[in-house]
Amino acid sequence: MRQGKNSVSSIRRTMAGADGDDSLYPIAVLIDELRNEDVQLRLNSIKKLSTIALALGVERTRTELLPFLTDTIYDEDEVLLALAEQLGNFTMLVGGPEYVHCLLPPLESLATVEETVVRDKAVESLRKISHEHSPVDLEVHFEPLVKRLASGDWFTSRTSACGLFSVCYPRVSSTVKAEIRQHFRNLCSDDTPMVRRAAASKLGEFAKVLELDYVKSDIISLFTALASDEQDSVRLLAVEACVSIATLLPQEDLETLVMPTLRQAAEDKSWRVRYMVADKFSELQKAVGPEITKNDLVPAFQNLLKDCEAEVRAAAANKVKEFCENLPEDSRETIIMTHILPCVKELVSDTNQHVKSALASVIMGLSTILGKDNTIEHLLPLFLAQLKDECPEVRLNIISNLDCVNEVIGIRQLSQSLLPAIVELAEDAKWRVRLAIIEYMPLLAGQLGVEFFDEKLNSLCMAWLVDHVYAIREAATCNLTKLVEKFGAEWAQNTIVPKVLGMANDPNYLHRMTTLFCINALSEACGQEITTKHMLPVVLKMSNDQVANVRFNVAKSLQKIGPVLDSNSLQTEVKPVLEKLAADQDIDVKYFAQEAISVLALA
């Protein structure tokens, strides 16, 4: 506050000192641009609102700037959004906590605009400055604002009110508390679904600040009502509130107060509500504790895994691993083996590929929970079946999670089925599928070992280098680097480098360029010796290529591998070639040759 006053008086001084002070000019521009026709300029000005406020001083900010801003609700969303955000940090600029309530009118009008992002930001700022209100100011200024919003004509103000109850409730007197609870109750049964949705989504948050008795009396009845709302979109939000409410209540009350509603939600007629239950299952499981999980959630989860709507099954399948992990340890294995696994087995051959691929992304995680014997006996057949699935995404998801199984049973058990699956993906007609499997190659190579790799997978990696899609060739190049990092330079020299260099004589210039790209990528991993002895001669020879694209890529390659080479070969071998290329008749070749010469300092 003091600091604010100082800067104000200093500005006043300069203003009084002479007519037309230069220091006013930039601020004058900023103020004028608050109403410029160009949105971008207005936005810039709003973002520097603190500068303007500082120049005006706390008094004029309160009496002139804020009233102007309060009425500036016609502007574009992005300007209003920036304004709502700025006002959340404006306390010092209006004179500190003593005057923080002056910020309420502009934020109130922003909290009623029709654009959701602006309203949400205004509510966020209001929540922020609510903490800067003294308890007295909160009751005199802030709480009346919440009430005004809560009983506003338009739904926009009522939805905004929903987010403000929880910040003022803990700090007001018990009479006001009762009023706030009444307002919240009203909004929960508002005519418009938007307000009921807003209330439902804030129900959990509000419950957290309420006294336990009121949670039991007020919140539970509101929760029950919202959970049986006629609108699907309201009911599904009640599921989220269920998590917070269940966390607040003592275990013995859960059964009577929460579980009837939760059971009803898990069997709701609308798949969207059941989807929400499936999606929040892990949170619900933690909130209700192990006993209720055993008795209630296990059958509910089984039903969700068998739901008639694929979206619900997919959401539930996604939660299989997490649900099993969080089961109480004493009965975990029994529950999984007798209740969950049979459902999982059915999902492996589900008709919907999203369900299968959701399952495939988590199923491998079960092996760590079930241990070696169960994995071999029960899970392995499922993995193998999924590796043969018709949908590439399912196979990819299994392959991408191989490490979980490797830890438990070792990968050898799978390798016989793995190979055909990988080969098939590697040759898939869709290039995105091929791209995805390339990305798992280094991981697979690590799991399977160098021997298996050389024998079975190396040829695939080489085939990708001549793929007709550039993105695949590029990924294949990158893949080689990672493999060399894994298996070492010697391995590279024996298995990869000869094949790569062989492509330098390919009739297709794209393949010849691939040689150069590989050299660019590999030189560093392979080291100086291999680069100088094997790669450099090939690159130099290619400088005579008849295709200009190849020649300028030679120049780029030389620039790239230059730092790996010793100065002798740079001077005697690279320099003459680059000089020759710098005199090439093609303008691009010239350009890149000259660039290489200057970067390598060969001039």
Q: Which residues bind another protein (CB under 8 A)?
A: 15, 19-21, 24-25, 27-29, 31-32, 34-35, 55-56, 60, 64-65, 68, 71-72, 74, 114-116, 154-156, 192-194, 197, 230-233, 269-272, 308-311
Give me 265's structure tokens. 């939600």
Q: Do 448 and 483 contact (CB within 8 A), yes or no?
A: no
Least Å distance, CB 166 to another protein, is 23
| Nearer of residues 21 and 455 to another protein, judged by Cβ | 21
> In degrees rounded to 5, what are phi and psi of residue 413?
-55, -30
Render the burial of 413-445: b for 16+ CB within 10 Å, e for the rest.
bbbebbbebbeebbebeeeebbbbbbebbbbbb
Q: Which long-range contacts link 355-358 to residues 24+ away (Cβ below 8 Å)?
A: 355/310, 355/313, 355/314, 355/317, 356/386, 356/389, 356/391, 356/394, 357/391, 357/393, 357/394, 357/397, 358/314, 358/315, 358/317, 358/318
| Nearer of residues 314 and 363 to another protein, judged by Cβ | 314
| Nearer of residues 49 and 327 to another protein, judged by Cβ | 49
Least Å distance, CB 84 to another protein, is 17
Q: Which of 82, 70, 590, 195 is nearest to 165 (CA)?
A: 195
Least Å distance, CB 533 to another protein, is 53
CA distance 581 to 544: 9
Least Å distance, CB 298 to another protein, is 25
Length of the chain: 603
Residue type, 64: E
| Nearer of residues 53 and 292 to another protein, judged by Cβ | 53
Least Å distance, CB 303 to another protein, is 15
Three-state secondary structure call for residue 123 = helix
Using alpha carbons, list the distances in angstroms from residue 330 to 294, 334, 336, 503, 558. Answer: 11, 9, 12, 61, 64
| Nearer of residues 117 and 599 to another protein, judged by Cβ | 117
| Tally of CB atoms within 10 A around 594 | 16
| Nearer of residues 21 and 485 to another protein, judged by Cβ | 21
> In degrees rounded to 5, what are phi and psi of residue 509?
-65, -25
Three-state secondary structure call for residue 545 = coil
| Nearer of residues 24 and 404 to another protein, judged by Cβ | 24
| Nearer of residues 109 and 493 to another protein, judged by Cβ | 109
Q: Which of 169, 168, 225 is nearest to 200 (CA)?
A: 225
Least Å distance, CB 582 to another protein, is 43
Least Å distance, CB 558 to another protein, is 43
Three-state secondary structure call for residue 21 = coil
| Nearer of residues 38 and 74 to another protein, judged by Cβ | 74
CA distance 200 to 227: 9
Three-state secondary structure call for residue 168 = helix
| Tally of CB atoms within 10 A around 62 | 18
Q: Do 391 and 413 contact (CB within 8 A), yes or no?
A: no
**Count of alpha carbons within 13 Å of 199, Cβ hemisphere only?**
30
CA distance 436 to 80: 43
| Nearer of residues 133 and 197 to another protein, judged by Cβ | 197
Least Å distance, CB 311 to another protein, is 5
| Nearer of residues 247 and 352 to another protein, judged by Cβ | 352
Give me 149's structure tokens. 């919003």
CA distance 340 to 21: 78
**Count of alpha carbons within 13 Å of 397, Cβ hemisphere only?**
24
| Nearer of residues 177 and 274 to another protein, judged by Cβ | 274
Give me 5's structure tokens. 């006053």
Least Å distance, CB 91 to another protein, is 20
Least Å distance, CB 235 to another protein, is 10
Least Å distance, CB 74 to another protein, is 5
| Nearer of residues 20 and 250 to another protein, judged by Cβ | 20
Using alpha carbons, list the distances in angstroms from residue 329 to 98, 290, 326, 370. Answer: 55, 9, 8, 11
Region of residue 210 (phi > 0: left; psi between -120 and 50: alpha; otherwise: beta): beta
| Nearer of residues 91 and 156 to another protein, judged by Cβ | 156
Least Å distance, CB 230 to another protein, is 8
Q: Do 162 and 198 contact (CB within 8 A), yes or no?
A: yes
| Nearer of residues 75 and 137 to another protein, judged by Cβ | 75
Least Å distance, CB 197 to another protein, is 8
Least Å distance, CB 324 to another protein, is 26
Least Å distance, CB 200 to another protein, is 13
